[in-house]
Amino acid sequence: MRVLDSSFLVALFDESDSLHGRAIEEMRKYEEEDGYFTVSESILGETATVILYHAGLKQASAFLDYAKENFGIFPIESKHEISCIISIFKKQRHQLSYADCTVIYLCRRMGCGAATYDKNMIKELGETP
């Protein structure tokens, strides 16, 4: 399983992104590993918005359709989950957005890695890029 971040997803779905080719190759590798992906609702919305601004409504809509069919979409609903994410946000060491902290939370909760190009998130997770 892999938790997907908006930096990775934007690169994957925006053909003009400088990391597009790399994202395609890494997605193929992740699919071969186990092929299960999850994304928080916060990251889903953030990604759709960035793609809308950079590539247009058609590409953003295609992303949402693909995500709905191919990713587990994790809603952050309980007060406990929100409290955990707020705690991560308050204790962070690397200037992450609240949406980024949902990725950190899911990685820790599910015991898996993230697909991200966010250097601060990589540091926070203690992963190697």
Q: How far apart are CA 122 and CA 115, in angstroms?
A: 9
Query: How much is the pLDDT for 127?
Result: 63
pTM of the complete model? 0.90
pLDDT at 6: 97
Name the superfamily (CATH) of residues 2-121.
5'-nuclease (3.40.50.1010)
- Give 56-72 pLDDT, tens digit per residue: 999 999 999 999 999 99
End-to-end CA distance of the chain: 17
Contact 9, 43 (CB under 8 A): yes
- AA identity, residue 88: I
Q: What percent of the chain has a predicted confidence (pLDDT) above 90?
A: 85
